[in-house]
Amino acid sequence: MRERIILIGLLSAVLLLVGCGGPSAESGSSDSCDMDNPPLFEKDGLTVATDKPAYPPWFKGDPKNYSGYEGDVASEIAGRMDLPIKWTVEPFNKSYAPGAKDFDFDINQITITPEREQAVDFSNGYFDNAQGVLVMKDSPAASAKSVSDLKDLTIGAQVGTTGLDFVNETIKPTADPKVYDSTNDAKSALESGQIDAIVTDLVTTVYLRDFEIDGSAVVGQYPRNEQFGMLFEQGNPLVDCVNQALGEMKSDGTLEELEQKHLQQFLDVPTLEK
């Protein structure tokens, strides 16, 4: 028994020492980027990652050559940098974790947040996002007009998303929200009546309403000053080149055109009152 106490004491001491000591990590600073010779993950093209499955209207068509809003934005950027585009897969939950990345950038409806910026780098925003709330038409939740109407519902969201943050920080429901590994699981839960509402980005909720879940309705949107950005490994100088290309797309109207083409039909939703 005595040895056991000594052992536990020692182990705790070791753990605390390891926890308090040691040099802390420095974040790298990015040098500027040369458009004619950008630092790429693989020299022969621009490696762009997104999740699988990748949903419309963000991504459409052949996974080797996506179109859709984000597909076209990424292809346009690659075009302006005179590079072929190579698509690869990265699950959302892994994308904003710190560490080395297997791609040049990830484009996957990822909101720029200060917390994530501690671990990764973002390009400038390419889309202003609002949160959408999707319910089934025949549930009492369908009559919700304001955030306080949502308080008594069982709400589902994907882990690690700003949708879940919106639920926890703004809606503050009386019952704990249900947290799922993916929006897909949350969608199954909504269809089977396990939850009353899903919160995810507005465009996706409208797409689900129009194309995937019969008998559903979007009760409202909630803008949160959020922007989607392309995600890079921390300290990657490529951000500057991509920002340059993105800036050109904004000033010559290309970005606006792409938004009109792919997303216009998905944005017409009333705003939730407080």
Partner 1 sequence: MAEGGPAAPGPSAGRGSRALGNRGVLVSSASTVLFFAMIAVVVALAPGSGVVAERFFDPSHLWQSLVGSEGLPSVLGAFWLNVQIFMFSEVFILILALVIAVVRGIPGPVFFPFRLVAVAYTDLFRGVPLILVLYMIGFGVPGLDLGFISYLPDVAYGVISLVLVYSAYVAEVYRAGIESVHESQNVAARSLGLTRWQSLRFVVLPQAIRRVIPPLLNDFIGLQKDTALVSVLGSIEAARAAQIYGASEFNYASYVVAALLFVLITIPLARFTDRLIARDKRRREAGALA
Q: Which residues bind partner 1 (CB under 8 A)?
A: 1-3, 6-7, 10-11, 14-25, 93, 96-98, 115-116, 118-119, 156, 159-160, 164-165, 168-169, 176-181, 185-186, 188-189, 191-195
Backbone angles phi, psi at 191, to 5 degrees: -65, -35
**3-class DSSP string for the chain:** CHHHHHHHHHHHHHHHHHHHCCCCCCCCCCCCCCCCCCCCCCCCCEEEEECCCCCCCCCECCCCCCEHHHHHHHHHHHHHCCCCEEEEECCHHHHCCCCCCCCCEECCCCECCHHHHCCEEEEEEEEEEEEEEEEECCCHHHHCCEHHHHCCCCEEEECCCHHHHHHHHHHCCCCCCEEECCHHHHHHHHHCCCCCEEEEEHHHHHHHHHHHCCCEEEEEEEEEEEEEEEEEECCCCHHHHHHHHHHHHHHCCHHHHHHHHHHHHHCCCCECEC
Nearer to partner 1, 98 or 223 (CB): 98
Instruction: Report whether 111 contacts 226 (CB < 8 A).
Output: yes
Q: Give me the least distance between CB of 117 and partner 1, in Å please.
A: 10
Q: Give me the least distance between CB of 14 and partner 1, in Å please.
A: 5
Nearer to partner 1, 49 or 241 (CB): 49
Q: Give me the least distance between CB of 122 and partner 1, in Å please.
A: 14
Nearer to partner 1, 51 or 76 (CB): 51
Distance CA 214, CA 190 (A): 11
Nearer to partner 1, 88 or 168 (CB): 168
Nearer to partner 1, 119 or 147 (CB): 119
Nearer to partner 1, 102 or 176 (CB): 176
Nearer to partner 1, 25 or 36 (CB): 25
Q: Give me the least distance between CB of 52 and partner 1, in Å please.
A: 18
Q: Give me the least distance between CB of 241 and partner 1, in Å please.
A: 26
Q: Give me the least distance between CB of 152 and partner 1, in Å please.
A: 16
Q: Give me the least distance between CB of 250 and partner 1, in Å please.
A: 30
Token pair 């950038």: residue: 105
